[in-house]
Amino acid sequence: MTRIYLDNAATSWPKPEAVYAVVDDYQRNIGAPTGRSGYAEAAQVARDVETARRKVARILGVRTHSQLIFGFNGTDALNLALHGLLHLGDHVVTSVVEHNSTLRPLFSLEREGVRVTRVGCDAEGLVDPAAIRDALRPETRLVALSHASNVTGAIQPIEEVGQIAKAAGAMFLVDAAQTAGHLPIQAEDLPVDLLAASGHKGLLGPLGTGILYVRSGVEEYLSSVRQGGTGVFSEEDRQPLSMPSKYESGNLNVPGILGLAAAADYLYERGVASLRKHAVELTGRLLEGLGRIDGVRIHGPRHPERQVGLVSISVEGYDPQEVAAALDASHRVQTRPGLHCAPRMHRALGTFAHGGATRFSLGAFTTADEIDVALAALGEIAAMAAQR
């Protein structure tokens, strides 16, 4: 039975063939670190990592590529942004929509004297910019918001929110884990000060990769939270202050970064706008089919233009884990059940007490036929519940 992978919001699969090829070539034939040695392979790796930085920056609309930092995942990037920027007495405005990658660092910072206000959302998971404005205080240091919910897929109005933050003198951090590679983004043209993303989701790179874009000048206020060897200014005790070395201590995940560069080439050639069109079409097909199945409740927007390519559902008579297990067992349709590391979002939706929801998330290689198989399988499961 053919595997139908609909868990791309967790990590994308499959990857472009070039990603596999470049990672394998590095591991077998190169194996050198970057910035640590002077032999030919090491020098080539150093050049390749900077080329990778340029390629990923191009996909995200970052013209000053040195402002793009490589991290180990989206969580690492968000931790750097939050722990590096916030201090005792600062105030943060965020939302119930956020992933634990934002919620948990903020919870930790609250214990250190940072104050946090979490605004609500509507039934689709959409945050009202007016609620952000109303939550601002004179001491607000940061507004932090997901670009799109990883539960409902709702795309947040980050441009409007960014303008509100800017007018108040606050910085704006965007969690683009669910939008980078899925939506066209021109980060330098947006009112965004920091933008974090995973490399292994919509950007189609390997696991263990992430990025943080830091608007020029913001690095003056953003402390490094990890210090160590960078391969430059090794004679000094203090951490380098230059970008991006200030934040890239220790050996980088070179095979992951080179794989991410290959993925960025694929995204550039195929076009993020083209991939977005593909996702809108398939999400519309999925939503239409789900709407015809009795006992299925959709959580979030029912308009593919207003969401990324993911849809979460509940099936009457089943808990989310049962739905996901039955889909995999019967038709090898692979989804993600549970709370999706977004407990406050599920509380807002009223799904927390029921164990969350079952999420279908599409990717660059998802086909219409796969959507149809998934819908047929879900229809069978829902029908069995009705017969109980």
How far apart CA 89 and CA 91 sit, in angstroms, is 7
Query: Which of 349, 371, 357 minimizes the C-alpha distance to 304?
Result: 371
In angstroms, what is the C-alpha Rg of the chain? 21
CB-CB contact of 268 with 55 (8 Å): yes
The β-bridge relationship of strands 194-198 and 171-175 is parallel
**Structural domain total, the chain:** 2
> Do 240 and 279 reside in the same domain of the chain?
no
CA 260, CA 55: separation in Å to the nearest integer? Answer: 9
Predicted local distance difference test score (pLDDT) of residue 277: 98
Residue 235 CB burial class (10 angstroms; 0-12, 13-18, ≥19): exposed
Which residue range is the domain that position 87 belongs to? 17-270
How far is residue 323 CA from its own chain's centroid? Answer: 25
Tokens representing 338 are: 């549970």
Final residue belonging to a domain, choices 239, 270, 301:
270
Report the alpha-carbon distance of residue 106 to residue 91 in Å, rounded.
Answer: 10
Residues 327 and 225 in one domain: no
- Same-domain status, 38 and 160: yes
Which CATH number do you get for residue 277? 3.90.1150.10
Q: Which two tokens stand for residue 1?
A: 């039975």
**If we measure between CA atoms, which residue out of 256, 266, 265 comes closest to residue 34?**
256
Cβ proximity of 145 and 127 under 8 Å: yes
Instruction: Examine the domain organization and report whether 133 and 179 are in the same domain.
Output: yes
Asked if residue 297 and residue 217 are part of one domain, the reply reads no
Six-digit token string for 147: 């670009």
The per-residue pLDDT string of the chain (388 residues; one tens digit each, 9 = 90 and over) reads: 799 999 999 999 999 999 999 999 999 999 888 876 778 888 899 999 999 999 999 999 999 999 999 999 999 999 999 999 999 999 999 999 999 999 999 999 999 999 999 999 999 999 999 999 999 999 999 999 999 999 999 999 999 999 999 999 999 999 999 999 999 999 999 999 999 999 999 999 999 999 999 999 999 999 998 877 666 666 676 777 788 988 988 889 999 999 999 999 999 999 999 999 999 999 999 999 999 999 999 999 999 999 999 999 999 999 999 999 999 999 999 999 999 999 999 999 999 999 999 999 999 999 999 999 999 999 999 988 656 5
The DSSP secondary structure of 36-52, one letter per residue, reads S--SHHHHHHHHHHHHH
Q: Residue 180 has what pLDDT?
A: 98
- The CATH number of the domain holding residue 166 is 3.40.640.10
